Structure 1
């Protein structure tokens, strides 16, 4: 039997001159929420490309979320197994 599980992710961006900030929120199936943050800065010699700043800042926010979720998973593994798990790097 298959179980369908879904997570909901919201992403917001704030632009301030040459700087883009991203905030990501993931809502897990049990209602737990995690927030991640990322930023990107445009070099003064680069042409203004709003989308690129969003992609970089958004990717960094999702990497922050990924790190938090890996830590959560390893903590749960450690609690059940009674030993320290080792994340792949």
Structure 2
């Protein structure tokens, strides 16, 4: 039987001076709420291109979120099997 699920990630971006902050949030079907954060800081000598800061901050937030999701999966496997799990990205 084919089953399809849809998970969405929301990313909030905030710019403050030469920094861009990102928060990525995933809410899973079992109401697990995972969040990742990322920051990008522009070198004062660089041209101000807000899109680049947003891309870097969002990528870093998603990277942290991915690690948290992997840790959650590891914990779930360990709880089901009673054995240590070593899941890798």
Q: TM-score, structure 1 length as denominator?
A: 0.92
The equivalent residue for 1:69 is 69
Over aligned residue pairs, what C-alpha RMSD do you find?
A: 1.1
State how far apart, in whole Å, the 2-side matches of 1:53 and 1:11 are: 14
Which secondary structure does the structure 1 equivalent of 2:48 belong to? coil
Unmatched segments (≥5 aa) in structure 2? none
Which secondary structure does the structure 2 equivalent of 1:39 belong to? strand
Question: How many residues are aligned here?
Answer: 89
The equivalent residue for 1:46 is 46
Q: TM-score, structure 2 length as denominator?
A: 0.92
State how far apart, in whole Å, the 2-side matches of 1:53 and 1:8 are: 22
The equivalent residue for 1:2 is 2
State how far apart, in whole Å, the 1-side matches of 2:13 and 2:5 are: 27
Unmatched segments (≥5 aa) in structure 1? none
More displaced 10-residue stretch of structure 1: 79-88 or 63-72: 79-88
